[in-house]
A = this chain, B = another copy of it.
Amino acid sequence: MSQSAITPGGTSSSDADRGETNSERAGLDLDASLGYLLKQAASVLHTAMDAVLRPLGMTITHYACLELLAQRPGLSNSDLARGTFVTRQSMNTLLRAMERDGLVSRPAQPPVGRILPAELTELGHRQLATASAAVKTVELRMRSKLDAEQQSELRHHLRSSIDALTE
């Protein structure tokens, strides 16, 4: 998938510039739109992560699930769904596949209520180690043009945006 956004000068690919004098409308100005920029950033990140994860036979959600379980063993299916920003139905499908593949284990019977706490198997931990290293290079690459303070600012502002949209 291409990554180029629509910019005032045209896309980065070879489009024969159907030259438009932009901005002159009631709607959103794409360049000023934080939402658009955010979507673009997320898209670029998605592509970059997919590029390193796919050769390992994993999807991004697959990796995120491993990462979450390593940091917090015993998370439930619903917990994992929230943590990876998908529905619990989607996570259920994924989790079952991962269980089948021996990456994750869950007790046959729920210890309490209906919750089945999931844990990484030895194989799961090994697969995560590989993936984690790959993903870390992407994370570092993404930060490479920001100094420590700028990264801190970015995190802070991102959190503010999330808060504003959440409450």
Contact = CB atoms under 8 A, between A and B. Distances in A.
A158 B154 contact: yes
B146 A157 contact: yes
How many copies of this chain are found per oligomer? 2
Q: How large is the interface on A (under 10, 10 to 19, 20 to 34, 35 or more residues)?
A: 35 or more
Interface string A60-88: 00000001101111111001011101110
Contacts of A75: 6, 18
A28 B142 contact: no
B40 A85 contact: yes
Given A85-B39, A132-B28, A138-B165, A18 B72 contact: yes
Interface in A1-19: 1-6, 11, 13, 15, 18
Interface string A21-60: 0110111101001110111111111001100000000000
A41 B158 contact: yes
Contacts of A37: 155, 158-159, 162
